[in-house]
Structure 1
């Protein structure tokens, strides 16, 4: 007889993912156990294994969900017809807003990607690359004469912008939407001044 899926399967799975992200971020992935995740979820270890057959499978789903949601959210920002300056601000704003409440997932992303298999890493890095490439293309449009012909310089500038976003996400975890919008504008202005001075 085929086992049916409970109506609240999706909600329980999301609860497990969010709890696991917090546990992995606080304890470190290596030290965190499925026992601890189950305990923090308020369910049995057997219940966790009903959803995920291993800690690695749980980590993979967590990272995949986080990156897919970020990629989809950034891709949905309406940019048609806008100048590069405004496109940059809107994309950076959306990235920071997408990270709100997802700081644990972001922390795990920074450390956990190297812990999964090569094929899975490749798929996840492609999701990351889609977001990075969107920002990179806008930065290139801002200074085509200097960044359009020097790929190494464009990459360095792009990664510097993401470094600022990562710093904010990690060091301002409780920042609200307004503060994130303000910081997105600051990074945009910083990038505009800096890029054109290169």
Structure 2
């Protein structure tokens, strides 16, 4: 008879992923061990192996869950009726709010994707690309001249993400109000820069 899945299976798995993200962000994926992950989660190493066969499998699930949720949240915004400028403001704020409480996952994403096998990298980079393309499309509507200049559009898009992606380095404990204020600053700087092109 097949063993049934425990009622709290999903919660335990989610707790392992949160703990693993903390360990990977703090100590680095290469230096992290399954023993450390178990200790961080307050469970036995055998229990970790009950849910995951390897550290690589945990890394993939940390990143897949984080990037899938981020992609859905950002690209799923209802921007109907918004001007391109207002759409940019709303998207930048949403990105900063989505990063709140996910600094460990975000930090792991910055260095962890390339540690995985090529087929898994393709999935994760696909999420990243969807978000980047979504924002690039908005920027192209703000500054229509960028539509015909792919390299400059990419540079403008990546400059915007550069301002957002490293926020956790100096403001990890920032709350909602600080994140919104920073997002609004980044949006206005971006809009000002685009107008000057």
**Matched residue, 1:28:** 28
Within the alignment, does 1:114 sit opposite 2:114 as a pair?
yes
Q: Which stretches in structure 2 are left out of the alignment for 5+ residues?
A: none
- Could you tell me how far 1:170 is from its partner in structure 2? 2.9
Report the Cα distance in structure 2 between the residues aligned to 1:119 and 1:70, rounded to whole angstroms.
Answer: 20
**Matched residue, 1:5:** 5
8 Å contact 1:107–1:170 — kept in the other structure? no
**Matched residue, 1:186:** 185
TM-score, structure 1 normalization:
0.98
- Could you tell me how far 1:42 is from its partner in structure 2? 1.0
**Matched residue, 2:175:** 176
Within the alignment, does 1:96 sit opposite 2:59 as a pair?
no
8 Å contact 1:34–1:45 — kept in the other structure? yes
**Does the residue aligned with 1:148 lie in a helix, a strand or coil?**
helix
Report the Cα distance in structure 1 between the residues aligned to 2:193 and 2:173, rounded to whole angstroms.
Answer: 28
Q: Which stretches in structure 1 are left out of the alignment for 5+ residues?
A: none
**How many equivalent pairs are there?**
197
- Could you tell me how far 1:184 is from its partner in structure 2? 1.0
8 Å contact 1:136–1:158 — kept in the other structure? yes
**Matched residue, 2:60:** 60
Report the Cα distance in structure 1 between the residues aligned to 2:81 and 2:136, rounded to whole angstroms.
Answer: 18
8 Å contact 1:96–1:169 — kept in the other structure? no
Which consecutive segments of 4 or more residues in structure 1 shift more than 4 A?
A: none
**Matched residue, 1:151:** 150
**Does the residue aligned with 1:81 lie in a helix, a strand or coil?**
coil
Report the Cα distance in structure 1 between the residues aligned to 2:172 and 2:124, rounded to whole angstroms.
Answer: 23
Report the Cα distance in structure 2 between the residues aligned to 1:154 and 1:58, rounded to whole angstroms.
Answer: 35
CA displacement, residues 74-118 of structure 1 (integer Å, 9 cap, x when unaligned): 122110111011100111111110110100000000000010000
**Matched residue, 2:195:** 196
TM-score, structure 2 normalization:
0.98
Report the Cα distance in structure 2 between the residues aligned to 1:168 and 1:90, rounded to whole angstroms.
Answer: 18
Report the Cα distance in structure 1 between the residues aligned to 2:91 and 2:27, rounded to whole angstroms.
Answer: 32
CA displacement, residues 109-130 of structure 1 (integer Å, 9 cap, x when unaligned): 0000010000110011011111
